[in-house]
Chain A
Amino acid sequence: MNPLLTDDAVAELPLHRGRAELLEEIMSAPVLEDRSVRADAPRRRTTWPVPVAAAAAVLALVAGSPWLLSGLGLRDAGVASGGSGAYRAVLDAPGWTVDTVVGDDDSGELTYVKGDRFFEINWYPAEEYDGYVEDRNHITETPVAGEPIQVLGRGALMWLYDGAHPTAIRDVENGHFLELRGKSMSTAAYLALLDDVRLVDRDGFAAAMPSAYVDGTKRQRAVDDVLDGISEYVDPLIPPGSTRGSFSSAEDDLDLLGVEVARDVACEWLRDWDEAHRAGDQARMERAVAVLGTSRDWPALRDATGGSDQPELIWSYADQVAAGQAPKHLVPKDLGHTLGCSG
Chain B
Amino acid sequence: MTETREETYRRLYATHFDAVLGYALRRTDRPEDAADVTAETFLVAWRRLVHVPTGTETRPWLYGVARRVLANQRRGNHRRTALGDRLRQELATWVPDTSDDVVQRADVVTAMRRLSARDQEVLELHLWEGLEPREIAEVLGLTTVVVRPRLSRARARLRDLLPQDPQPATPQLSRKVRP
**A interface residues with partner B (beta carbon < 8 Å):** 1-15, 17-19, 21-23, 25-27, 29, 31-34, 51-54, 56-57, 59, 135, 138-139, 250, 260, 308-310, 313, 336-340
Contacts and interface: CB of A to CB of B under 8 A. Distances in A.
16 contacts: A3-B25, A5-B95, A13-B94, A21-B87, A22-B42, A25-B39, A29-B43, A31-B46, A51-B44, A56-B77, A56-B78, A57-B72, A57-B77, A138-B143, A309-B81, A313-B82
B101 to A, nearest CB: 4
A15 B44 contact: no
SS of B interface (majority): helix
B98 interface: yes
A260 B39 CA distance: 19
Contacts of B107: none
B99 A3 contact: yes
Contacts of B51: 33
B6 interface: yes
Contacts of B35: 18
Contacts of A339: 80, 82
B80 A14 contact: no
Given A4-B26, A51-B47, A260-B79, A22 B84 contact: yes
Contacts of A18: 35, 84, 86-91
Given A9-B99, A53-B69, A2 B80 contact: no
Contacts of A9: 22, 99, 101-102
A57 B101 contact: no
Nearest to A336: B80
B40 A56 contact: yes
Given A2-B34, A18-B88, A57-B69, A34 B50 contact: yes
A15 B68 CA distance: 24
SS of A interface (majority): helix
B122 interface: no
B36 to A, nearest CB: 8
Interface in B1-54: 5-6, 9-10, 13, 17-19, 21-22, 25-26, 28-32, 34-35, 38-44, 46-51
Contacts of B83: 22, 25-26, 29, 309
B50 A5 contact: no
Given A33-B47, A135-B142, A310-B82, A2 B10 contact: no
Nearest to A49: B47
A8 B6 contact: no
Contacts of B29: 1-2
Contacts of A59: 77
Contacts of A14: 90, 94
B43 A2 contact: no
A25 B18 contact: no
B117 interface: no
Nearest to A338: B82
A22 B39 CA distance: 7
B48 A51 contact: yes
A6 B143 contact: no
A138 B146 CA distance: 8
Counting chain B CB atoms within 10 Å of each CB, the highest count among A9, A21, A250 belongs to A9
A3 B142 contact: no
Contacts of A8: 18, 101, 176, 178-179
A79 B70 CA distance: 30
Nearest to A140: B145
Nearest to B105: A4
B47 A56 contact: no
Contacts of B102: 3-6, 9
